[in-house]
Amino acid sequence: MIYMVECALGPEQTDDAWNRWYADMKPPERLLSVPGFRSAQRFRGTGPRRQHYLALYDVESPETMSSPAYRGIGGGNFLTDVWKPLIQMWERNLFGRDTAAPRVPQDAALVLVDAATTDLALPGCTIEWMRCVGLDRTTQFRGLAVVTRAAAEAIVTNTSAIGVFLPRTKCMVAPTP
């Protein structure tokens, strides 16, 4: 399963301030210590979604999101009221997927496509479709594609259904027990 958190800040917020706060409040190592979290990677949007941030997690099951361990580290909320009024959008979705979340290299990009059906195609992309199965359910299906940065530049559009995200961090993997 893939757990995704996407949020958008207002144009007056700085990338550096957000990343400092996020790194202190929601470090990937903390989430990866929760049983059921397998990997974590953070991204920043480009083009029309340049003020959007994405966190992509590989999780074991839907129960991971309601576990005492997850809730105990502040999972599912911001842990502070400082950023709440500054965030214009915050969406949490859980997607069914039989394979692990993609590990996006630093020189590549992640393309997200939200759709009501899985028949959309994008040039230069092999889209892997997933059904939304939990949390906010802001889309019925989400497609993922890992592409080169050159291919990503050709994809950026003004539609909110397609987003291109660049890695902010390397993919981190939970330690094996």
pLDDT tens sequence across 67-106 = 999 988 878 776 566 667 777 888 999 999 989 999 999 9
Q: For the structural domain made of 2-173, what CATH number should be given?
A: 3.30.70
Q: Which of 174, 172, 158 is nearest to 46 (CA)?
A: 158
- Other C-beta atoms closer than 10 Å to the C-beta of 91 total 16
Q: Distance (Å, rounded) from C-alpha 158 to C-alpha 97?
A: 28
At 38 the pLDDT is 96
pLDDT, tens digit (0-9, with 9 covering 90-100), for 23-65: 777 777 888 999 999 999 999 998 767 678 999 999 999 999 9
